[in-house]
């Protein structure tokens, strides 16, 4: 298409490229700094010698992190939460979105039901009343407090609903003539065709459950029940030594909290960073579907 570049264009391309590289570096260098800190000796880290490359390479911080029972427990809580939460969220989303993707003729009352879900995107009781409902339903101090109150995600339901609607009607009609039930039609026809949307929701829900920390903070009385991010929040923001047991205090005295923190930040972040590029092509598609329809 472009045959000849003028000199001005070449200069522009050069500057544009440099600018974009700087932007990308701005996004990634903070993480590289933390990564370098986590692999450095505590002396080098506290004296501020570490930039983007480890100084006095040391694996101590990671060793301590993985020997720290509180950290491992929190990691375990998060793993359980991600698996259970994903399974429940996806099932809820699919089984709510499918009926709502039907016409009012095929499913009387469909529009009203859809609004029942959508309205909750805009109104809610807020922090305190929600806290009280979670307490009243007995979820406090159980893993369900991290899962059930947020299991219905109206935004995800609308994304999938809109995706389902693009499936050609003829497929369903011929299946109905063959006597298939709606459940069967959903499983055999709609779900396989909705894979890009499902992959998008899957990755966002994984990120949600992995990163969410606030419900752990307010619904769990014991630190032992904290998910990883809530535990990490305690380590970074308000290191409370009364919460640590003797072993942990001993560990803390041996290594600088700076490298230890950095190692824990990396461990809590890297799994997500490994996963998301693989889903890139899906969520570009899914995102545009969810928020924009021509």
Q: Which is nearer to another protein, 8 or 246 (CB)?
A: 8
Cβ at position 232, least distance to another protein in Å = 5
In whole angstroms, how far apart are CA 115 and each of 122, 151, 231? 11, 17, 37
Cβ at position 69, least distance to another protein in Å = 20
Q: Which is nearer to another protein, 58 or 156 (CB)?
A: 156
Cβ at position 97, least distance to another protein in Å = 9
Report residue 58 as tokens. 């040391």
DSSP 8-state assignment for residue 221: S
Tell me if 93 sits within 8 A of 157, measured CB to CB: yes
> Smallest Cα–Cα separation from 143: which of 202, 235, 94, 73?
73
**Within 50-150, where are the H helices?**
60-67, 69-100, 110-118, 127-136
Cβ at position 220, least distance to another protein in Å = 13
Tell me if 130 sits within 8 A of 124, measured CB to CB: yes
Q: Which is nearer to another protein, 241 or 246 (CB)?
A: 241
**Within 137-245, where are the H helices?**
154-165, 169-177, 182-185, 191-193, 195-211, 214-219, 228-236
Q: Which is nearer to another protein, 17 or 76 (CB)?
A: 17
Q: Which is nearer to another protein, 246 or 293 (CB)?
A: 293
Cβ at position 68, least distance to another protein in Å = 16
């Amino acid at each position: 298409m472009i045959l000849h570049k003028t000199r001005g264009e070449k200069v522009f391309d050069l500057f544009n490229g440099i600018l974009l590289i700087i932007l990308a570096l701005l996004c990634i260098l903070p993480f590289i700094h933390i990564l370098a800190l986590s692999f450095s000796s505590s002396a080098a880290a506290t004296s501020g010698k570490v930039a983007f490359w480890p100084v006095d390479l040391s694996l101590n911080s990671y060793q301590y992190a993985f020997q720290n029972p509180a950290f491992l427990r929190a990691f375990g809580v998060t793993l359980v939460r991600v698996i259970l939460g994903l399974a429940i969220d996806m099932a809820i989303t699919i089984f709510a979105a499918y009926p709502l993707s039907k016409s009012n003729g095929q499913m009387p009352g469909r529009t009203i039901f859809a609004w029942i879900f959508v309205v909750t995107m805009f109104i809610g009781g807020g922090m305190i009343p929600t806290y009280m409902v979670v307490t009243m339903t007995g979820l406090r101090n159980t893993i369900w407090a991290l899962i059930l109150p947020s299991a219905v995600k109206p935004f995800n339901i609308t994304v999938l609903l809109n995706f389902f609607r693009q499936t050609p009607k003829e497929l369903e009609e011929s299946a109905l003539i063959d006597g298939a039930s709606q459940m069967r039609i959903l499983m055999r026809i709609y779900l396989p065709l909705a894979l890009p949307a499902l992959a998008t929701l899957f990755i966002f829900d994984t990120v949600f459950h992995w990163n969410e920390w606030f419900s752990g903070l307010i619904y769990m009385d014991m630190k032992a029940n904290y998910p990883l991010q809530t535990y990490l929040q305690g380590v970074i923001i308000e290191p409370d030594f009364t919460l640590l047991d003797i072993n942990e205090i001993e560990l803390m005295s041996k290594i600088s909290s700076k490298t230890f923190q950095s190692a824990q930040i990396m461990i809590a972040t890297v799994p997500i960073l490994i996963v998301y590029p693989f889903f890139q092509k899906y969520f570009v598609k899914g995102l545009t579907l969810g928020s924009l329809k021509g």
